[in-house]
Structure 1
């Protein structure tokens, strides 16, 4: 692994790289509560064919972390990564997980000239996800943690007692056994860095997603114009079947917005599939890539 700090749109971003720079580039976008280093297990299995590039995104790790929720609108997060792609060379393949999937979808939808192929691992396109939430059913119930995270003091609650509640939140009903020993210590160091946990959570606070109480369906959703929210490039969705935070209903109707979609479901793994079975995820990616 090699590291560097790049200036993107006038601000510093910390970048990790694996593989020969002469190989085809792949941009790896992490979610919450991770950071660029979370991609190492998968990158080890991809580096023989690809040059893997994993930034700490805005508000995370060693990258720029401005104060203020207004700095974490999706348009700004997408602009960061668009600058990184332009620096690297476009178009390239983008892989996103969790919140990183939101940025990856934003790039594919709004900057399609930058994205040759899109790979999502347990992440959601905003339209099917919002519709699943609006139904007020199982996905709304599974996503109640979002309303908690949006509290102005949620970062303080999660950080207390050596991040006890943060770890409990993400191990509830899912297998977090991979996060132990030195790796757990590394994650805690990133969460403790200069108020980073607060700026990480700003992604949730800035999001326009509406999360109703279970059993209370939302009405009056916008039309979500297909032409503006379309993924035009080839798209692979890899899904850990046992995810209890993002449910299958959150991807229903995705084909309408991603007509060149390939779905792969992996049994026996959950939201943390990149850590639980990185070799299998890498195999599926390599099999799908040209």
Structure 2
């Protein structure tokens, strides 16, 4: 593994690399509240075939952390990755919020994505549909209201990130998050000022979410504009309590070349809990 800092659209971004430089590129996009080091379990298993490239995305880790919410609109997050990719397409892998960027990039710049792999992440249309229903996913996502509040980063950073750790571990297995791994996460989070960029992803998101049990009427989705046209693999840890299985129902309408693989005994943090199974699913599919 080696690291570097590069300039993307005039700003500094920190990257981790695994594998041979001349191997096919696999761009790996982390979610919340992770950073490029989140791939330390999975990337070495994929580096036998790929040059794995993992950025600290905007607002995270050692990359550029603007304070204004306007800097975190999806178009800006995608533009970062367009600049990183260059002209030659890549295989793209995303988890959680990284999956959101990966879907947006695959939909908006299909010329840059050969294949799409998603680990417990959601396409925007089925996810918004479930958020708007006022059902189980609406209830499971109520934490988003807290994260969007001004000053949430201060509360999450207090007492050595106690509340942030609570979000990480809510009803899921984080036995892997200890020792040097935990130290790496806390170093990436730094402090409340360091967490602000992470919160701004939620504040800038156009996703609509009501109160618990509250449905939102009148939302419409243009499936023709939201198509993933490349081959797509969805790897799903079946114990996820943050993103529920119904958020992927009907995904084939938006991704006709879709393959699904479920991993029992894993939840939202499947790339930490079952990296060998996740790697096997990806490599077998490819």
- When normalised by structure 2's length, the TM-score is 0.98
Residues 226-260 of structure 1: per-residue CA shift (max 9 Å, x gap): 22110000000000000000000111111000000
Aligned counterpart in structure 2 of residue 153 of structure 1, from 146, 151, 154: 151
Rounded to whole Å, the distance in 1 between the matches of 2:88 and 2:102 is 14
Alignment partner, residue 18 of structure 2: 18
Structure 2, unpaired ranges of 5+: none
* CA–CA distance in structure 2, aligned partners of residues 227 and 115 of structure 1: 18
Q: Could you say what secondary structure the match of 1:286 adopts? A: helix
Q: Secondary structure at the match of 2:26?
A: strand
1-structure distance, mates of 2:89, 2:85: 8
Equivalent residue runs for 1:122-141 within 5 Å: 122-141=120-139
Instruction: Compute the displacement of 1:40 (Å).
Output: 1.1
Q: CA deviation at 1:194?
A: 7.8
Please point out which of 86, 96, 99 is paired with 1:98.
96
Which one is further off, 247-256 or 189-198?
A: 189-198
Where structure 1 has 5 or more consecutive residues not aligned to the other structure, the ranges are none
2:58 corresponds to: 58
Select between 207-216 and 26-35 the one with higher mean Cα deviation: 207-216
**Residue 29 of structure 1 contacts residue 57 of structure 1 at CA under 8 Å; is this kept in 2?**
yes
1:37 is displaced (CA, Å) by 0.9
Query: CA contact under 8 A between 2:156 and 2:164: conserved in structure 1?
Result: yes
Q: What does 1:187-206 align with in structure 2 at a 5 Å threshold?
A: 187-192=185-190, 195-206=193-204
Q: Deviations over 1:157-190 (max 9, x none)?
A: 1111000111011211001110001111111111
Cα drift, residue 193 of structure 1 = 5.5
CA deviation after TM superposition for structure 1 residue 214, in Å: 2.2
Query: Which moves more between the two structures, 192-201 or 4-13?
Result: 192-201
Q: In the alignment, is the contact (CA less than 8 A) between 1:61 and 1:193 conserved in 2?
A: no
Query: 1:140-219 maps to which residues of 2 (within 5 A)?
Result: 140-192=138-190, 195-219=193-217
Alignment match of 1:239 (pick from 236, 241, 248) = 236
**Is 2:270 the counterpart of 1:278?**
no
Tell me the matched-pair count: 286
Give a deviation string over 1:66-95, Cα, whole Å, max 9, x none: 110010000100000011011xx5211000
* Coordinate RMSD, CA, aligned: 0.9
Q: How many angstroms apart in 2 are the aligned matches of 1:29 and 1:70?
A: 21
2:227 corresponds to:
230
Determine if contact 1:117/1:233 at 8 Å carries over to the other structure. yes
Instruction: Give the Cα–Cα distance (whole angstroms) in 1 for the partners of residues 252 and 218 of structure 2.
Output: 23
Q: 2:118 aligns with which of 102, 117, 120?
A: 120
Native 8 Å contact 2:134 2:212 kept in 1: yes
- Matched with 1:268 is 265
* Separation in 2, partners of 1:260, 1:207: 27
